[in-house]
Amino acid sequence: MPNLPRLTVTQWLICIIAAIGFAFDIYELLMLPLIIKPALASLGGLGPDGLPLLVPGSPEYVQWARTLFFVPAIAGGVFGLLGGYLTDRLGRRRVLTFSILLYAFSACAAGYATSLTQLLVFRCLVFIGVCVEFVAAVAWLAELFPDRNQREKVLGYTQAFSSFGGLLVGAMNVLAAKVALDLPAIHGGHEAWRYTLISGVIPAIPLILIRPFLPESPEWQRKREAGRLKRPSVLALFSPELWRTTVLTTLVFAASYGIAFGAIQQLPQILGAQRVGTPSEAGHGAMIATAKAAVGEAVAAAKAAGQPELTAGQRRQIAGNASDAAVAKVTLWQEVGGLVGRFVFAMIAVQILSRRTLLRVFQLPALLFVPLFFWWISTVLGNPDTLIWIKLGVFVAGLLTIAQFSFWGNYIPLVFPLHLRGTGESFAANIGGRVIGTAAAWFTITLSASTPPSPARIAVVGGCVAGCYVLMGAILTRWLPEPKEGALKESET
């Protein structure tokens, strides 16, 4: 950061803990699309044929998939709004710390779930922690770095670690699939999705070590000690001065999330092989081939070692882990693209003064590319030679979509006053992004339901749903308020 004050040791610690929080925010959110298929197959029971009852496209699968995507989002939105209020009442640092601990240990507990109801409860707790953490971290960073250019860069680069979270969860899923059989058994099995969930406890470790060295927001602390900190109120967000800002930021924030959850996060359902070895198998040709090859190798290895023939359940688990690992490798391209997009955003955020123009740099290309890309995927699922082009397309889609997430961390602190900053951010991020935005997954899963499952149908519907969301965002951005020069400083006086 040339010509800017050098960061102190304390400021570096602040950036590190915020980056960890942002990384594992996305780590937890992107975990569900990776593990939902094997989790539902494992916890949903088996039919008379020994195969899972819950498979993509079946009515029961659709019901539980919608529930796991949307109910935690509602819980996160409602309690996240409360968390924003507590951020303004109790302080940024305290709420940030406990929110990270909540979602880390809830994610670990989810790995030991023995029923779909338990999994749902723990995912709700994860979402609550994640939704609160984002709000507290953004308010905290914005107030600790009063210089505009330094603040833009700090927020931009720390939020870029969200994409490292996406890379980490994809890599962890691949690793868990490869070493699952060598890890301690959980409830008598070695299912990769359980180990992936348990890995969510990782952010709690550095947090416990660094927490004593973290300062509170100086402006928040100063006003509280002076008795001049106004009491936050959700109703104040809809005052004559703020209602337009609140409504527009909420809806355009939702549009950004809708692209991701309506289409991009459905890729594991589109590409993954289903019921390998049966007439109803579906998915991308390369994934089906990978799953069959893994089963063939395991059968040959067991035979060569003189071991008993693999049971149907063991074959299914091996095929599922192999398919999940192959899909996770594709989703890594999305996160690499998102990481590039976040760094591009961080570099140009200080160059483009108009916030509306900055958002449109990513918004308008996404409006054209994402729907067309997912329509194209629906036409090439049976061709294994198209996998490299799907990876490149996912890279571009991730770049255009995830970069928009960084926009909100830089924008929202500038349009809400200090005593409402956490509450306002929470309303836009949680009601807009986590509830209205993630509802895109509910629409895609519901509208694409069919028997037998049709990955091509999921791809087409996902592209249409994402297209509707980004079109809404592109239209509403025209009226998005432009922050005034020095808005953050003025809001603290």
What is the amino acid identity at position 167? L
pLDDT tens for 282-326 read 667 676 777 777 777 777 777 777 777 777 666 776 776 677 677
Tokens 């890995």 locate to 199
Containing 72, the helix (H) or strand (E) segment is helix 59-90
pLDDT at position 279 over 60: no
pLDDT band at 35 (very low <50, low <70, confident <90, very high): confident
- Largest CA-CA distance found in the chain, in angstroms, rounded: 77
- Give one DSSP letter per residue of 326-358, joined into a string: HHHHHHHHHHHHHHHHHHHHHHHTTT---HHHH
pLDDT band at 203 (very low <50, low <70, confident <90, very high): low
CA atoms in the 13 A half-sphere facing the CB of 23: 22
Helix axes 116-144, 9-29, angle to 10 degrees: 150
Q: Which residues contact 298 (CB under 8 A, 6 or more apart)?
A: 310, 314, 315, 318
What number is the average pLDDT over the span 164-190?
83
State which of 90-104, 135-149, 335-349, 351-365 shows the largest mean pLDDT: 351-365
Tokens of 131: 């939704």
Tokens of 146: 């009063």
Nearest residue to 417 (alpha-carbon basis) of 221, 199, 241, 198:
241
Greater confidence (152 vs 103) lies with: 103
pLDDT at position 424 over 70: yes
Question: What ranges do the domains of the chain cover?
Answer: 9-491
pLDDT at position 91 over 50: yes
Q: Domain 9-491, what fold? A: Growth Hormone; Chain: A; (1.20.1250)
What number is the average pLDDT over the span 170-197?
85
The residues facing 94 across adjacent strands are none
Can you give the pLDDT at residue 422?
Answer: 76
pLDDT at position 488 over 60: no
* Mean pLDDT computed over every residue of the chain: 81
pLDDT tens for 462-481 read 999 999 999 999 999 999 99
pLDDT tens for 100-142 read 788 888 988 999 999 999 999 999 998 888 877 777 777 777 7
Can you give the pLDDT at residue 467?
Answer: 96
